[in-house]
Amino acid sequence: MSIFDLTIFKRNPGYGRLLAASSITNLGDGVSALAFPWLATLITRDPLLIAMVGAAVRLPWLLFSIPAGVITDRHDRKRLIVGSDTVRFVLTLAVVALILSVVEFPPAREGLYIAGLTGLGFALGLAEVLRDNAAQTLLPSIVQKDDLEAANGTLWTVENIMGHFIGPPLAGVLIALALPLPFLLDAVSFAIAALLVAGIAIKPRAARPLRKPRDEMREAWAWMRAHPVILRLAVMLGLLNGLSIMGMTLIILVSQEILQLDAFWHGVLMTSAAAGGVAGGVFGPRLIKRIGQERAVWLALALFPLPMLAIAVTSSVWVVAVALFVESVAALVWNIVTVSYRQRVIPDELLGRVNSVYRFFGWGGIPIGALLGGLLVSLFETGLGRELALRLPYLLAAAGMAGLALYGWRKLRIS
């Protein structure tokens, strides 16, 4: 089954609205994903400060993931999605207000502006954690279990097209026209998505007795410890994400200083990642069905180190483009297998909480990796020079991912 198979929408009526909402928000996110770091580089060239902005958006995955799971299992998941997107709409308008409040960013006040951008990014991240956890736990309620791989594959394919293929080059065009425009588009996308999700008809879940949040979190942790495959996947994902973001947080500086690209062409470069995401989303379910879940995950692990190594040693735009393509293919294959596996195995009454513990490990490494990447460049820039320092995080990421691949081949078993 592929993205072009329309029967999935007939069997699962609410899926179309959720897919449309996700595609619209991912277009906005794809635009802001380029616009946010580009805005940071207009304020400062300090790699650590730029990394702080990226880390702030992901820090809530470390701090708020587990409480978000308790909230998701206690409350209406559809309402949580609508509320979170509404909050993100307001916060993104605040970013627009920050931009409009100054004509230019004077160097003497760069710390103040970065602090404001970091704070808004952190608040957006909090809303994103709750929204994404609710959305992922909502999917099994509107999609039949036999359709989960196809539904996830289609969802991520469309998200990649909108967020990585269309969003980044569109952001480059909008930045050239006026800096606030990409953030305005992002805000509008959140408002539309909230309206779409609000119209999904979902059968109410059976009421369950509520206990202390601490006891509910302990129950989720106990379930996860009793299922070592899921715990192992979570820890491995956290390490993979931390290593990847260690370099990718600074891809904006690599693009500007090593590849010599402007905002538009950087956006075009990032579409290669979208092409890989589309390929992974369309062909991933077929590949997984042919070779099996376990071998598909092993294949993804084998691919992960290659893009990092390529970016570390090249100055060619084309090589970086291919590297981003391969990285996205591997990521989509990994996600289709592991997310569908969790949605199928974890009981519905525990899904939000166990997913939140999983994401605590799996996404909690992202802000740590982002800060570590910026810190590495800052520490070694004087001794190695700016260019070699920018390449260092990618070398370390490649080595770490190679080690994880060896571990996965020996220890990871999915059935």
- Nearest CA to 65 out of 335, 368, 363 is that of 363
The pLDDT confidence band at residue 342, using thresholds 50, 70 and 90, is: confident
Q: What is the pLDDT of residue 10?
A: 74
- Nearest CA to 183 out of 31, 22, 41, 44 is that of 31
Q: Length of the chain, please?
A: 415
pLDDT above 50: residue 2: no
161 located within any domain: yes
Q: What is the pLDDT of residue 3?
A: 43
Q: What is the pLDDT of residue 25?
A: 86
Rounded mean pLDDT, 297-321: 94
pLDDT (tens digit, 9 = 90+) per residue, 129-160? 888 878 877 777 777 777 777 777 777 677 76
Q: Which residues of 136-152 are buried (b: 16+ CB within 10 A; e: fewer)?
A: bbbbbbbbeeebbbbbb
Q: Name the average pLDDT for the chain.
A: 83
pLDDT above 60: residue 106: yes
Q: What is the pLDDT of residue 104?
A: 64
pLDDT (tens digit, 9 = 90+) per residue, 20-29? 888 898 888 7
206 located within any domain: no
To the question of pTM greater than 0.75 for the whole model, the response is no
Helix (H) or strand (E) holding 342: helix 317-345
2 located within any domain: no
Q: What is the CATH number of the domain that holds 350?
A: 1.20.1250.20
40 located within any domain: yes
Residues 6+ apart with CB under 8 A from 137: 72, 73, 77, 351, 352, 355
207 located within any domain: no
pLDDT above 80: residue 229: yes
3 located within any domain: no
> Which range of residues forms the domain containing residue 255?
9-201+212-411
pLDDT (tens digit, 9 = 90+) per residue, 166-221? 877 788 788 878 888 999 999 999 999 999 998 887 766 555 555 676 777 788 88
222 located within any domain: yes
Rounded mean pLDDT, 249-272: 84
Q: What is the pLDDT of residue 4?
A: 46
Tokens matching residue 323: 């590297």
Q: What is the pLDDT of residue 382?
A: 87
Give counts: helices (H), strands (E), the chain: 18, 0
| Contact (CB, 8 A) for 9 and 69 | no
Query: If DSSP codes are grouped into helix, strand and coil, which group holds residue 304?
Result: coil
Percent of the chain residues topping a pLDDT of 70: 93
Rounded mean pLDDT, 117-121: 89
Give the CA count within 13 Å in the CB-facing half-sphere of 171: 32
Name residue, tokens 């500086």: 253
SS (H, E, C) 163-200: HHHHHHHHHHHHHHHCCCHHHHHHHHHHHHHHHHHHCC
CA 240 to chain centre: 13
Number of domains in the chain: 1
1 located within any domain: no
